[in-house]
Structure 1
């Protein structure tokens, strides 16, 4: 029996810089839409297809009457040479690299709907771009700790990838048109390919066959028994107007459970979390992987088979029962457990190193708008 593992929806997954980015992204819940996470800048196997598709499309037209020149940003309607936009730990991020990150993230967020960029959302985009670029720099800093740096090997990798992509185009003109459509220059494209190489080597050094944090099957089970909790819970949701009424209702359900009603039947009958109702395996929760500290603390505080009282979270009352970890279940879903745990390690390391990184903004930064990029 191969059962699909249910874990907390935390965004963790196979380890990469983009996953670390998801794990450390700040809460922007005040935005009108929930932001979707930007995709990794380079994905093997997709790159040629993306560029080929771009080559078939007309080049993006600037929203301004004036075309943005290389190395410039459009500030107050005029091309302004910007040697650098952000300095991250002393490394300068120029206008071209910033524009590419900005426009890639913008496209992910708005799906072509320019009306999305109101007075609230537009500043958040700049914040997300700066954070993303900082995290990319920190990833290279993490790689340096393993002796992985840009050099002959990364240059050879980038050159081979570049040649493969160029060969998929009928002409160099079409290739450069596709780059322009994607807000890239060839120099920036090569740099991104080298970043991909660095990330792959770092992933191997940390989590590969002989990686520093790689777990054997036995170590994996020990880690799960130490760092995970398995629970089933009955959720009663409330809002500001009915909190007292729903609290009374939750207490009545808890009393039924204490009087001997079957916990699983109570969850399936009265629970208001569709993901939990009817779920035979419950929730496997890794310590530190949820933003709901009240819920997490309550789960880890329980002994196996113990049932909690009413746990009041932000908009939900929980009645939680802790369940034993199943070794067979862990074995069946070992790879997913590994990836989630590795993702947490990667994110923790990234956040810790990022605290030592200084970010400096140029004088022109405050003038940057969505229209500044083209």
Structure 2
């Protein structure tokens, strides 16, 4: 198993990373990230549905001294205990706050400070970098990606973006920082190529014929040990 894992890693690194056979070439990628229809850099104020949930007295006492991660955990725990009516009210309160923050952003208030004061995204505690993605990037809310691409560089949301899991987003699209790209280009290319890599693996596997021996169904954790 260890040998197979090592071989898999070597094959993956050789073919899909650092100018490998199937990796996007660095010069091509630099052109891609400059194309605003293909690539996006954004920051956002994320206001989750649990943002305005009330805490019990024992949790509320130490709340102000908590880290953002611990505050989120406390709020999520309280939100999970709500009944349907409580959830509905929590979402309404979160939306009201999100609309207020959206107006502040549209009125020109410092976006980084809005993130610091109202945002709940742990990845943006330092918003100086932001998020980079293309339209096929996985791991980001679909609505966030879609709405971010509708903005021009330095543009700010004109409406709230809502996601069933994460809540509400107020988005600001930023110009791509090519110095950052140069410093992180290998990881960025691999992330960019991941959907195509998955597609290639699936195409290869679909062409394979898998045969099992007669003993296959008899293998269990106990029989192996």
Shorter-chain TM-score bucket reads 0.5 to 0.7
How far apart, in 2, do the equivalents of 1:300 and 1:360 lie? 46
CA contact (8 A) 2:41 2:173 kept: yes
How far apart, in 2, do the equivalents of 1:279 and 1:249 lie? 20
| Aligned counterparts, 1:129-140, within 5 A | none
CA contact (8 A) 1:207 1:342 kept: no
How far apart, in 2, do the equivalents of 1:246 and 1:321 lie? 19
How far apart, in 2, do the equivalents of 1:209 and 1:249 lie? 46
How far apart, in 1, do the equivalents of 2:220 and 2:11 lie? 36
How far apart, in 2, do the equivalents of 1:358 and 1:298 lie? 42
Query: What value does the CA root-mean-square deviation take over the aligned residues?
Result: 3.2
- TM-aligned CA distance change 1:281 to 1:297, over 3 Å: same
Q: What's 2:72 paired with?
A: none
Give the 3-state SS of the residue equivalent to 1:333 in structure 2: helix
User: Does residue 70 of structure 2 align to residue 219 of structure 1?
Assistant: no
| Aligned counterparts, 1:233-272, within 5 A | 233-239=44-50, 241=87, 242-272=90-120
The structural deviation recorded for 1:371 is 4.3
How far apart, in 1, do the equivalents of 2:129 and 2:12 lie? 34
The structural deviation recorded for 1:354 is 3.3
Give the 3-state SS of the residue equivalent to 1:229 in structure 2: strand
| Aligned counterparts, 1:209-358, within 5 A | 211-216=21-26, 218-226=27-35, 227-239=38-50, 241=87, 242-291=90-139, 292-308=141-157, 309-315=159-165, 316-357=167-208
| Aligned counterparts, 1:1-374, within 5 A | 41-42=1-2, 192=4, 196=7, 200=10, 203-205=13-15, 207=17, 211-216=21-26, 218-226=27-35, 227-239=38-50, 241=87, 242-291=90-139, 292-308=141-157, 309-315=159-165, 316-357=167-208, 370-371=221-222, 373-374=224-225
| TM-score (norm: length of structure 2) | 0.66
- TM-aligned CA distance change 1:277 to 1:212, over 3 Å: closer
Structure 2 residue ranges without an equivalent (≥5): 51-83
Which protein shows a greater Rg? Answer: 1
CA contact (8 A) 1:290 1:296 kept: no
More helix per residue: 2
The structural deviation recorded for 1:352 is 3.4
How far apart, in 2, do the equivalents of 1:248 and 1:364 lie? 61
How far apart, in 2, do the equivalents of 1:246 and 1:273 lie? 15
Give the 3-state SS of the residue equivalent to 1:319 in structure 2: strand
How far apart, in 2, do the equivalents of 1:210 and 1:367 lie? 40
**For 1:290-349, what per-residue CA distance to the aligned partner results, in whole angstroms no more than 9, with x for missing partners?**
242222212222221221221111232111111111112211222222332344432231
Structure 1 residue ranges without an equivalent (≥5): 1-40, 43-188
Give the 3-state SS of the residue equivalent to 1:247 in structure 2: helix
The structural deviation recorded for 1:230 is 0.4
The structural deviation recorded for 1:361 is 6.9
CA contact (8 A) 2:137 2:192 kept: no
| TM-score (norm: length of structure 1) | 0.42
The structural deviation recorded for 1:237 is 0.8
The structural deviation recorded for 1:368 is 6.3
